[in-house]
Amino acid sequence: MNQLFESLSFVENPLYERIIEDILAKQYSVVEDFFLLDEVAVLRQSLLDKHEEDRFKKAAIGNHLNETIVKSIRGDVILWIDENKANSSEMLFFSKINNLVDYLNKTCFLGIMHKEFHYAVYPTGTFYKRHIDTFQNDDRRKLSFVCYLNDEDWQVENGGELVLYLNTNGQYEEKVIYPFPGRVVIFESQIIEHEVKPVNTERLSITGWLKTR
Ligand SMILES: O=C(O)CCC(=O)C(=O)O
Ligand SMILES: [Fe+2]
């Protein structure tokens, strides 16, 4: 009976359908206004408040390399977001994410059971060298999700562009994506190599992963 109600209540969502089509066709999707500018503004404020409180930590790269090596690979500082302790702007964030996840699970049988998200600040001069988002021996990350929280007057000249390296039979094509506020990039964690180019000014975002098991 419950199942019947579930299928009756299913309403096709054109935005989510587009994301799914994109990912099936090219392993990534860019959505311009996933978050509206006033939503970005409250999320940015939440990030800035926590950053001010000195709660961010230097990002690691999942293994035992020393700090100098890590710094030559990535220079961002991060703070994981606990959904159970979410403030009002983070609740808004998770309600949109959870809607998307429910939709993906209903329509694509992706089996997303877990998710993890962190705020990220790239201080001036930092970057994240070309990499892939899955660690050895851990293939649970299915989709990577990045949402930019920069100011409305973010300029292309600020740098910090995300570059996706799209592989067609060993030939790499570069897809350059500027971190404009409200913009969301979703891509297949296990497939797409990518990098964050050096920034000339502080760059703000939320990054996360939708995971199986
Ligand atoms: O901020 C971005 O555009 C991408 C960040 C990233 O690649 C990561 O945190 O793994
Ligand atoms: Fe990444």
Cα(204) to centroid(ligand 2), Å: 14
Ligand 1: residues within 6 Å at CB? Answer: 128, 133, 146, 162, 194, 196, 205, 207
pTM of the model: 0.93
Whole-angstrom Cα distance, residue 193 to residue 49?
Answer: 32
In this structure, the number of other CB atoms found within 10 A of the CB of residue 160 comes to: 25
- So what's the ipTM on this one? 0.99
Residue 154 lies in a domain: yes
Whole-angstrom Cα distance, residue 178 to residue 176?
Answer: 7
Contact 58, 77 (CB under 8 A): yes
Contact 152, 181 (CB under 8 A): yes
**Residue-number span of the structural domain to which 95 is assigned:** 9-212
For 2-50, write each residue's pLDDT tens digit.
565 566 678 899 999 999 999 999 999 999 999 999 999 999 999 999 9
Q: Tally the domains of the chain.
A: 1
Cα(68) to centroid(ligand 1), Å: 19
Cα(49) to centroid(ligand 2), Å: 24
Residue 4 lies in a domain: no
- What CATH number is given to the structural domain containing 36? 2.60.120.620
Residue 1 lies in a domain: no
Residue among 57, 116, 132, 194 to mutate when testing ligand 1 (max atoms within 8 A of CB):
194
Whole-angstrom Cα distance, residue 83 to residue 114?
Answer: 11
For 59-69, write each residue's pLDDT tens digit.
887 656 667 77
Residue 2 lies in a domain: no
